[in-house]
Amino acid sequence: MAQPKTPKWRQLADRFAAEIRSGERPSGSTLPKISDLAAELGSGSETVRLAYRALSDEGLVVMSKRGGTRVAETLVKIRRDATFRYSRTAREAAGAHGAFEAELARLGLAYREARPTRIAREQAPARVAELLGVDPGEDVLVRDRVMCADRAGVRSDRATVVQLATSYFPGELAFGTQLEADDTGPGGSKSRLADLGHAQTTITEEIDVRAPTEAEAGALRTTADRPVYEITHIGRTAEGRVVEVAVHVMPVRLWRLAYTFEVDA
């Protein structure tokens, strides 16, 4: 039976993972620095780094350039439940980012945006333009957010960036409406779109995992070799018209996704 040998870095990562999960290495404690551990084990530093990187991808440790490698404070991934998130009642119940904020709060984290939402009229990427059914050269409304989660009292420039979210709306529907305002009010842009007579009733989300672009890696403070989710969210009205396309990019190591739906028996 094709059973490849377990690489040494994997074994090392598994050993540390066990120590972390057993509580032997508590949250916040520092792991040996790469060069020291390599010397101690008689391994190359690259081997140790691969082990640490695997732990980082699993969300067990956080690596930083000066601070060394530490056991993560939050050992569980953020859960994103796409189904309930988008019902109007849920959206308007607890503020604009209700479901998301509640989920973060459960992990002891606070939601924040890294900078004000960027609102612009510009061309959409080709794939988005096609989905929206607009001409590739035509301007659409773009709302672009950088979403963070901090532990209380953490300096803002050290916060964890958890998601990049860019929404696209057809100009015909959105220009000159409250969708161009900084604050879109209770329930957010989806509720305003509904108020304008373009309520989204059918949502399709496509999930892909890929390497981040250079810009994404920078914004998410991750590296080119750590994969990200790319979720393309497509909102359709009852008539089947696409009124919103949103692209969410988020590091795989921070998130777990969930979908609930009904089927005919």
Which residues touch 147 (CB under 8 Å, ≥6 apart)?
100, 111, 112, 113, 114, 161, 162, 163, 164, 165
Which of residues 23 and 67 has its CB atom nearest to DNA in the complex?
67
5 binds DNA (CB under 7 A): yes
40 binds a second copy (CB under 8 A): no
To which residue do tokens 């590739």 refer? 136
67 binds DNA (CB under 7 A): yes
Fill in the per-residue mask, 213 to 232: x = in contact with DNA (CB under 7 A), - = not in contact. Answer: --------x-xxx-------
Which residues from 76-105 bind a second copy, rule CB under 8 A? Answer: 77, 82-83, 86-89
Structure tokens at 62: 């956080």
Work out the widest C-alpha separation in the chain, in whole angstroms: 67
CB 38, min distance to DNA, A: 7
CA distance to 151, 165, 207, 216, 225, per residue, from 105 (Å) = 10, 20, 25, 25, 30
- DSSP bridge pairs for 110: 150
Q: Find the binder of DNA among 63, 119, 196, 211 (CB under 7 A).
A: 63
CB 138, min distance to a second copy, A: 25
Which residues from 150-179 bind DNA, rule CB under 7 A? Answer: 158
200 binds a second copy (CB under 8 A): yes
To which residue do tokens 């301007």 refer? 139
CB 62, min distance to DNA, A: 9
Task: Identify what 83 binds: DNA, a second copy, none; CB under 5 to 8 Å per kind.
Answer: a second copy
CA–CA separation, 32 and 39 (whole Å): 11
Cα angle 27-28-33, degrees, rounded to a multiple of 5: 115
Contact assessment for residue 232 and residue 199, using Cβ atoms and an 8 Å cutoff: no
CB 207, min distance to a second copy, A: 4
* Other Cβ atoms closer than 10 A to 80: 21
58 binds DNA (CB under 7 A): no
Q: Find the binder of DNA among 17, 43, 75, 77 (CB under 7 A).
A: 43
Which residues touch 78 (CB under 8 Å, ≥6 apart)?
103, 104, 107, 149, 162, 254, 255, 256
**Chain residues that interact with a second copy, rule: CB under 8 A:** 1-4, 6-7, 10, 50, 54, 57-58, 77, 82-83, 86-89, 194, 199-211, 214-215, 217-219, 221, 223-225, 227, 229, 238, 252, 256-265
**Chain residues that interact with DNA, rule: CB under 7 A:** 2-5, 7-9, 31, 33-35, 41-47, 49-50, 52-53, 63-69, 158, 221, 223-225
